[in-house]
Amino acid sequence: MQMSAIEKRIKELKEEVKTMFSTNDLAEKLALVDDLHRLGIYNHFEDEIREAIRCINDHVENDICDIRFVALRFRLLRQEGYAVPPGVFSKFKDSEGKFKQELSCDVEGLIQLYEASMLGTNDEPILEEAMDFARGHMERMKGEEPYAAQIRRALETPFHRGMRRLEARLYISLYAKSKACNTILLELANLDFNHLQSIHQAEIKSFSIWWKELGLMNNLPFSRDKVAECYFWSLGVWFEPRYSTERLFIAKLGILITVLDDIYDAYGTIEELQLFTNVFERWNFQDVDGLPEYMRIFLNAFVGIMAEIDEELRKKGTLHHKHYIIESCKALVRAYFQEAVWTNTGYKPTLEEYLNVSLISFATPMFTSVSLCLMAKDLSKDTLHWLLTVPKIVKDSSLVCRLMDDIVSSEFEQQRKHVESSLEICMRDEGITKQEAVAKLNEMVENVWKDINKQWLNPLPSRKHLNVLALNFTRVVEVIYKHEDSYTNSEGQMKENISLLLVRPVEV
């Protein structure tokens, strides 16, 4: 296929960027790697970045006292899985063990320190102190130019927790106004984003046509119709062109799982749901005696997407992954049914009982398993069996997702006669106000993020793909459930985010 003029220019710019890695200046190398990540073009330079990070890890002068340099190096190394110790920040403390007040005037240093602290684990108090110190001063400065927009963005969504495609879209505009702007990087980021956007637009068009032709909403009008939102979610997991097939499968499965969730939560009787669950347990979709018509219609659609997945696995030579996809789907349906039983009987679970089930019902474990089975070709039997146990990083990802969803979605769910959420359970069991319960759940979210960070360090090669998937699913949820349930109520920030990624091209 002949390259377009834009693709040719992107190729030329990539070659120019590769020459920039030859610098021996560590500060320049750090800035380059950071810019490539933030501008969303790091996927073009994976080998070069890997080698640059290795050099950065091997060569550092211990007497460097520039907080910007030290914090950026720490973050980039941790971002790549290096377990660099947090003691590197001790030199920035005074005789009383507090961060030196002179740092409070270094705006760029504060931002870098705050961003670095987001990769801390639960056993690193110095990073907690760094976070509090930096955040306090940044709150004071967030109206001051020329750093106001950068400070506000960092406080709203630290880069480590941000959805990669959205972060790139927002950063390109900030970078264009920066004194440190490199015109080659800016042009490449601009062209690459718009080029990828055209690919993503074609994908969502294909997805929308598939969904319309499926006709499910004509027969199941009680369900949510979430085409753009499901594609947005899958785009947060993978944005690279090479994952186009996987991205569309996750979007298709996502919209069907939304319908499935609504069947269990909002429409099916407990007797119907028992029969429905039995069909999934048998994984025999011809044996549907006793099921109402709307459930049969859904199952026809579900069988269709599973057949497509089977064919994709067959083409890749990984049909043995099918068993693990099936088992993860069964686990999801079991969790949905357990919640339906609780709701139907009026049972009020403890927080532990609720989370044991709802971590599965949020569907993160299922989506993570399906995603890994679709993308990976060299999964060992041990890895696949381990996947079925729901590894800790997947549980932690799902816990962040579930808690953030519960904090902002409780009113909507209770309108559907739903099982009590973690928010209501905390209020009931501990006799606390909603505000106090929200604070407690937010604290739990922060602690779980630190557990995720811990598992991110020094991962086994066979588990790196899973770690990336779990982290990216969590990042998407940070965007969708930060202040509201923008998946269900998508007219506000979700609409704006979808427009940024799929409608409006970058113009700088």
What confidence tens digit (pLDDT) does each residue in 179-188 have?
899 999 999 9
What mean pLDDT comes out for the span 247-253? 97
Please write the tens of the pLDDT for every residue from 441-470. Answer: 999 999 999 999 999 998 777 788 899 999
Q: How far apart are CA 86 and CA 500, in angstroms?
A: 36
Whether residues 267 and 382 fall in one domain: yes
Count of other CB atoms within 10 angstroms of residue 269: 11
pLDDT at 410: 61
Q: How far apart are CA 112 and CA 135, in angstroms?
A: 11
User: What is the CB-side half-sphere exposure of residue 3 using CA atoms within 13 A?
Assistant: 9
CATH of the domain at 391: 1.10.600.10
- Give the residue from 143, 173, 188 where a domain finishes: 188
Residue 7 is assigned to a structural domain of this protein: no
Instruction: Report residue 35's pLDDT band, with 50, 70 and 90 as the boundaries.
Output: very high
Into how many domains does the chain fold?
2
Contact criterion met (CB below 8 Å) for 341 and 347: yes
Whether residues 266 and 336 fall in one domain: yes
pLDDT at 416: 58
Q: How far apart are CA 76 and CA 79, in angstroms?
A: 5
Residue 81 is assigned to a structural domain of this protein: yes
Provide the domain limits for residue 453. 215-502
The model's pTM is 0.94
Residue 1 is assigned to a structural domain of this protein: no
Let me know the angle formed at the C-alpha of 157 by 499 and 151, rounded to the nearest 5 degrees.
Answer: 105
- Give the residue from 188, 205, 237 where a domain finishes: 188
Closest CA to 500 of 96, 163, 4, 107: 163
Whether residues 450 and 304 fall in one domain: yes
pLDDT at 413: 53
Q: Coil, helix or strand for 450?
A: helix
Whether residues 181 and 327 fall in one domain: no
pLDDT at 489: 79
CATH of the domain at 75: 1.50.10.130
Whether residues 91 and 219 fall in one domain: no
Type of residue numbered 421: S
Residue 451 is assigned to a structural domain of this protein: yes
Residue 194 is assigned to a structural domain of this protein: no
Whether residues 332 and 450 fall in one domain: yes
Whether residues 146 and 45 fall in one domain: yes
Q: How far apart are CA 443 and CA 432, in angstroms?
A: 15
Q: Which residues, 6+ apart, have CB-to-CB distance to 86 below 8 Å?
A: 74, 120, 124, 126, 127
**Encoding tokens for residue 175?**
């970078």
Q: How far apart are CA 113 and CA 130, in angstroms?
A: 7
pLDDT at 412: 53
Q: How far apart are CA 75 and CA 302, in angstroms?
A: 42
pLDDT at 259: 96
pLDDT surpasses 90 at 117: yes
Q: Which residues, 6+ apart, have CB-to-CB distance to 467 below 8 Å?
A: 393, 455, 456, 459
- Give the residue from 141, 171, 188 where a domain finishes: 188
Please write the tens of the pLDDT for every residue from 332-350. Answer: 999 999 999 999 999 999 9
Residue 453 is assigned to a structural domain of this protein: yes
pLDDT at 461: 79
pLDDT at 306: 97
Residue 310 is assigned to a structural domain of this protein: yes
Contact criterion met (CB below 8 Å) for 53 and 73: no
Contact criterion met (CB below 8 Å) for 427 and 437: yes
Q: Percent of the chain scored above 70 by pLDDT?
A: 97
Whether residues 71 and 117 fall in one domain: yes
Count of other CB atoms within 10 angstroms of residue 249: 20
Whether residues 152 and 230 fall in one domain: no
Whether residues 182 and 233 fall in one domain: no
pLDDT at 266: 87
Q: How far apart are CA 367 and CA 347, in angstroms?
A: 28
Whether residues 277 and 370 fall in one domain: yes
pLDDT surpasses 70 at 370: yes
Whether residues 227 and 182 fall in one domain: no
pLDDT surpasses 80 at 63: no
Residue 225 is assigned to a structural domain of this protein: yes
* Average model confidence (pLDDT) across the chain: 93
